[in-house]
């Protein structure tokens, strides 16, 4: 029955959107991390979505194919007293853009809500189908 596939499709979208929300949380939390685990400043992470076939009849779910690091230049902050400053007195700060991240967060949360609603509708329809003839 195709309606069961709706659960798989909406479920894959929920997983993908929560991965995106995860990346946003990580970026915002590390917006001021000068040195990451590898000694380099933190770089903003972005998830890449791709359509993924679900079932045999052309339903398409979503999956996260990879997490890429933003190629935007690092923010240079003038702070000569810092131990991380270079010869000119600049400290390389993460390339996280808080505005972009907030927009991403709202978009991810709206998409998550919509897909949760899709799941609810599918559930109602299936329960109604089960009640046929009663």
Partner 1 sequence: MINRIDQELSFSQTALNLRAYRQELLASNIANADTPNYKARDIDFKAALEGALGKGQSGALALVQTSERHLPAAGSNRFGAAVQYRSEEQSNVDGNTVSMDVERAAFAENAIQMEAMLTFINGRFKTLNSAIQP
Residues in touch with partner 1 (CB under 8 A):
1-3, 5-6, 9-10, 12-13, 17, 20, 48-51, 54-55, 57-62, 107-108, 111, 114-115, 118, 121-122, 124-125, 128-129, 131-133
| Min dist. Cβ of residue 31 to partner 1 (A) | 23
Q: Which is nearer to partner 1, 27 or 115 (CB)?
A: 115
Whichever of 27 and 93 has its CB closer to partner 1, that residue is: 27
Cα distance between residue 28 and residue 98, in whole Å: 7
Query: What's the closest the beta carbon of residue 22 comes to partner 1, in angstroms?
Result: 15
Q: Terminal CA-to-CA distance of the chain, rounded, Å?
A: 20
- Exposed, middle or buried by CB within 10 Å (0-12, 13-18, 19+), for 13? buried
CB-nearer residue toward partner 1: 60 or 82? 60
**Nearest-angstrom CA–CA distance, 53 and 62:** 8
Q: How far is the CB of 4 from partner 1 (least distance, A)?
A: 9
Name which of 133, 114, 127, 122 is nearest 14 in CA terms: 114
> Residue 9 or residue 91: which is nearer to partner 1 going by CB?
9
Residues 6+ apart with CB under 8 A from 90: 76, 77, 78, 79
Q: For residue 46, what are its two tokens?
A: 């972005």
The least distance separating partner 1 from the CB of residue 47, rounded to whole angstroms, comes to: 10
């Amino acid at each position: 029955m195709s309606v069961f596939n709706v659960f798989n499709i909406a479920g894959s979208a929920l997983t993908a959107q929560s991965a995106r929300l995860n990346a946003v949380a990580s970026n915002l939390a590390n917006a001021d991390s000068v040195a990451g685990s590898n000694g380099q400043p933190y770089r903003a992470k972005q998830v890449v979505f791709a359509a993924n076939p679900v079932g045999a009849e052309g339903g398409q779910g979503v999956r996260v194919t990879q997490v890429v690091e933003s190629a935007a230049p690092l923010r240079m902050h003038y702070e000569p007293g810092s131990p991380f400053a270079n010869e000119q007195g600049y400290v390389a700060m993460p390339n996280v853009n808080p505005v972009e991240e907030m927009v991403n967060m709202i978009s991810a949360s709206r998409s998550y809500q919509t897909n949760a609603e899709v799941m609810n509708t599918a559930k109602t329809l299936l329960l109604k189908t089960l009640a046929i003839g009663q």
